[in-house]
Amino acid sequence: MLPTTQAPKRPYDRIIEDLNSSKGSKKRRASQYTRTPLEALRHEGRWIPRALGPFVPVHAVVGLGAAQENGHNGDALYAHLTPKERQEYLKLYDPLLSIISGVKRDMAQYREDPESFARVLDMMTGASNQGRTDDIGTIKERVLCWISFVPGFPPILADTVKIQRGLKSVHCARMLCPVNLLPEFDVDQAAFMAKYEEGRMDLTADDFPAFLWDATHLDPDNLEAGLLRSQVMLKAARAIYTGPDSAKSPLPGYDGGKRPPLIIVYRAKLPVQKFTPEMVAYVAVLVRFSLSSQNTWSGREGTFCYEAFFKNIVDLFKNQDREWCKETLQWYQLWIFNRPNAPTFAPICDLLPKAPQEGSSRALLLGQLAQEGDGEPEV
């Protein structure tokens, strides 16, 4: 009698089995050829912040989207969400599932096992947070080597601890200074920093910091000039997506290194090589946090909201017909993928930013665009 052979386990069955064993919490480095289905899910989860930003609530987006797909509105679980939040989360659902393809593949099984579904989404949330943490580490230990120093002050050391950065360092302070307030900062740096430290000045997500601009092209009457094309932004983008070594290279693209960069590791998630507005905004968020004195990641630093800042940057690209949008994204395409004539892409979804605060650098920028006929964003 011939021995019977067992049918191979479905990926879903292997995932649940590993979640219920010690393998569910054990993390090991594995290649794409040796990853278990659970490890493949973790791998996909780490790409979430790098593609969609660090503020994607995985549980709510997938749960709400799956409920609607199944003919329910999700009111029982998501009644606390505002209509605006529901709209944003539903727009993120398809882009998120395109990244976490393992969840999409097994969605029918998860609908029958909500407890395991919740555990998988918890694990994906942890993987997403770990991807962001790794990228912050990459930027934090290098960013002080990329900024311009303020003349007349001792240079800041590359390994300066976080609590000594931000408004406690004149060099970091100038990078974080709202671009429209740079003249005031340069007249008396100490007085400017004291005003902030004493609570006489609040910074918000509408106060676009100076590090976003290429200083050689900064024009107060044309704030689009040089915007998002500073060397610190470029080096940070390359350090994250093409590896820290590439940030030192004068040549575009990936020039080798001990480990393959993210754009190679995650090439299956980039069927078309593109650098998106969300990626630009992600880099801006991590650079600002790395220059600040805040020691632990949080979505807020005093009156400054990082999620609102992320949305404000993405919103700059809402009109893809503007030459600035095309030229800026093509500039990143060139340096990241070495593709000078690559097509550019609109934001993945409308993140519905708030109206700008009067007198802020964002308000000045949007006012200039409105005068040029581009119009202000719908908020």
Beta bridge partners of 304: 301
Report how far residue 139's alpha carbon sits from residue 135's, in angstroms, rounded to the nearest whole number. Answer: 6
d(CA 375, CA 377): 7
Spatial separation of the C-alpha atoms in residues 128 and 293, rounded to whole Å: 23
Per DSSP, the residues of 149-160 read PPTTSPPPPTT-
Report which DSSP code applies to 179. G
> Closest by alpha carbon to 141, among 244, 283, 242?
244
> What's the DSSP call for residue 23?
G
pLDDT grade for 377, boundaries at 50, 70 and 90: very low
The sign one gets for the Cα dihedral 84, 102, 271, 67 is negative
- Higher pLDDT, residue 149 or 12: 149
At position 43, the amino acid (one-letter code) is H
- Structure token digits, residue 197: 């430290």
CA–CA gap between residue 375 and residue 370 (Å, rounded): 4
- pTM for this predicted structure: 0.88
Average pLDDT over every residue of 198-221: 91
What stretches of 178-322 show up as alpha helix (H) in DSSP? 182-187, 189-197, 231-241, 262-265, 277-291, 306-315
Rg (CA), the chain: 22
Provide the pLDDT for residue 4: 53
Domain ranges of the chain: 13-21+34-131, 143-371
CA–CA dist 102, 292 (Å, integer): 36
Average pLDDT value for residue range 217-224: 92
Q: What is the mean pLDDT of residues 167-171?
A: 92
Give the residue, 176 or 248, on which the prediction is more confident. Answer: 176
Tell me the sheet residues that pair with 319. none
Residue 340, pLDDT > 70, answer no
